[in-house]
C-alpha cells in the first residue's frame, strides 16, 4: 500500500490518491460497557453531534506540527465541554510519541476505539485477516482506561459479499466488539490534503477559503445525513461525525463546533451516541459499510435517488475545490 497523504488516512501518492471509489470498485480485553443506561430513542426534531476522530496520524504538517495539532483538537473539545471518541490506527501510535498523545487523550476523558493496526481495506476477500488486525491494535489500546471495544472499519468498508460480511461480523462478536458506526460521513481528509499541499507550495497562503470550504462541507453533509435519518427513522438522532486527526481539524474544529451550536444542534458526548440502541443495528446490505444512516436507507429501499456510492469521496469535492482555486 502506498504512503498515506499527510494527515488523511487514505492511501495516496497525490492529493487525490486512491479514493474510496477506487477501493470499492477494485478487487478485492475489555468488556463492552458504558456508564449509565442507554439513552432513549424517542422522536426528536433536535439533532445532536458527537465527534469521532480517525487514524491519529501525528506527522508534522505545514501550519501545525503533530503535537500542536493534537493540542488544538483537545482544546476545541474542552472549550465545548464534550468528550469525543478516537479511532487510532495502530501503525500511527505504535511509538513513544503516540503513546504520550493517547495518554493525554484518555486523561481528558475521551474514548478510544480500534481502527485496525495497518488500516487495510477489508474487501471481504480475506475475513480471517480481521482478527490479527484487531488484536495487534488492541494490544496498544488496553492500557488506557477509556478504551472501549468499538471497531471502525477502515474506509467504512465492511465487505463486498454477504458471506464475508457475516464472517467479519462474527469475528467482531466473538472478540467482544461492536461496530463504531459513523452516521455523518465526510471527506475532511481530502480538504486537509489539499490544504497541506497548498501550504507546502506557499506557506503564507490564505487559510480563510479553506476554513469556509471545510465548514460548508461539514454542514452540507450533516444536513444531508440528518435529513436522511428523518426520512428513514422519522426523527433526528445523536450523530457521530467522521473526522480525521489532520491539519483541517486542528485549525478549524473549534469553528465547526461553534457553527453547529449556533445553528441549533446540540453537542454531545460520543459515549451517548454509541449507547443508542440504533448503533446495535446490522443492516442487511452488500456491499456493506458507509454511514449507518446510509446503510439503513439502502436496506429499507426506496432511496436510490438519494444514495450515491460511495457516500463520500474526493471525486465529489475536487470540482468545487478546483473551481475555487483551493
Specify the number of domains making up the chain.
1
Cβ partners under 8 Å of residue 267, min gap 6 = 48, 49, 50, 80, 81, 82, 257, 260, 261
Considering the domain boundaries, does residue 30 fall inside one?
no
Cβ partners under 8 Å of residue 293, min gap 6 = 183, 184, 225, 228, 229, 232, 237
User: Residue length, the chain?
Assistant: 326
Considering the domain boundaries, does residue 48 fall inside one?
yes
Per residue of the chain (326 residues), give pLDDT as tens: 222 333 334 333 334 345 665 544 443 333 333 333 334 455 568 999 999 999 999 999 999 999 999 999 999 999 999 999 999 999 999 999 999 999 999 999 999 999 999 999 997 778 889 999 999 999 999 999 999 999 999 999 999 999 999 999 999 999 999 999 999 999 999 999 999 999 999 999 999 999 999 999 999 999 999 999 999 999 999 999 999 999 999 999 999 999 999 999 999 999 999 999 999 999 999 999 999 999 999 999 999 999 999 999 999 999 999 999 99
Considering the domain boundaries, does residue 8 fall inside one?
no
SS3 89: coil
Considering the domain boundaries, does residue 39 fall inside one?
no
Considering the domain boundaries, does residue 195 fall inside one?
yes
Q: Which domain holds residue 315?
A: 44-323
How far is it, in rounded angstroms, from Cα 307 to Cα 291?
Answer: 11
Considering the domain boundaries, does residue 24 fall inside one?
no
- A 10 A CB-CB count for 128 gives 9
Considering the domain boundaries, does residue 2 fall inside one?
no
Find the CATH number of the domain harbouring 114: 3.20.20.370
Query: How open is the CA angle 59-268-118, to the nearest 5 degrees?
Result: 30
Amino acid at each position: 500500500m502506498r504512503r498515506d497523504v499527510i494527515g488523511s488516512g487514505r492511501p495516496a501518492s497525490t492529493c487525490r490518491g486512491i479514493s474510496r471509489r477506487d477501493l470499492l470498485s477494485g478487487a478485492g480485553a475489555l468488556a463492552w460497557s458504558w456508564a449509565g443506561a442507554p439513552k432513549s430513542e424517542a422522536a426528536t426534531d433536535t439533532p445532536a453531534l458527537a465527534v469521532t476522530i480517525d487514524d491519529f496520524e501525528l506527522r508534522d504538517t505545514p501550519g501545525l506540527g503533530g503535537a500542536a495539532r493534537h493540542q488544538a483538537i483537545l482544546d476545541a473539545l474542552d472549550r465545548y465541554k464534550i468528550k469525543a471518541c478516537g479511532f487510532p490506527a495502530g501503525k500511527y501510535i505504535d511509538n513513544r510519541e503516540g503513546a504520550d498523545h493517547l495518554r493525554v487523550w484518555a486523561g481528558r476523558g475521551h474514548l478510544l476505539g480500534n481502527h485496525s493496526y495497518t488500516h487495510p481495506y477489508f474487501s471481504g476477500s480475506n475475513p480471517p485477516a480481521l482478527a490479527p488486525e484487531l488484536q495487534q491494535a488492541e494490544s496498544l489500546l488496553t492500557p488506557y482506561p477509556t478504551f472501549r471495544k468499538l471497531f471502525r472499519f477502515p474506509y467504512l468498508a465492511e465487505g463486498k459479499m454477504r458471506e464475508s460480511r457475516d464472517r467479519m461480523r462474527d469475528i467482531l462478536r466473538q472478540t467482544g466488539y461492536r461496530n463504531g458506526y459513523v452516521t455523518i460521513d465526510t471527506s475532511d481528509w481530502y480538504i486537509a490534503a489539499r490544504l497541506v499541499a497548498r501550504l507546502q507550495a506557499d506557506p503564507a497562503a490564505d487559510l480563510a477559503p479553506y476554513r469556509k470550504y471545510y465548514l460548508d462541507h461539514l454542514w452540507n453533509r450533516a444536513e444531508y445525513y440528518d435529513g436522511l435519518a428523518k426520512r428513514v427513522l422519522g426523527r433526528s438522532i445523536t450523530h457521530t461525525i467522521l473526522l480525521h486527526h489532520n491539519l483541517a481539524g486542528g485549525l478549524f474544529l473549534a469553528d465547526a463546533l461553534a457553527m453547529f451550536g449556533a445553528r441549533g444542534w446540540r453537542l454531545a458526548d460520543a459515549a451517548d451516541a454509541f449507547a443508542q440502541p440504533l448503533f446495535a443495528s446490522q443492516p442487511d446490505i452488500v456491499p456493506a459499510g458507509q454511514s449507518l444512516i446510509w446503510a439503513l436507507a439502502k436496506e429499507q429501499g426506496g432511496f436510490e435517488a438519494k444514495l450515491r456510492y460511495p457516500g463520500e469521496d474526493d471525486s465529489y469535492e475536487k470540482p468545487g475545490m478546483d473551481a475555487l482555486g483551493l
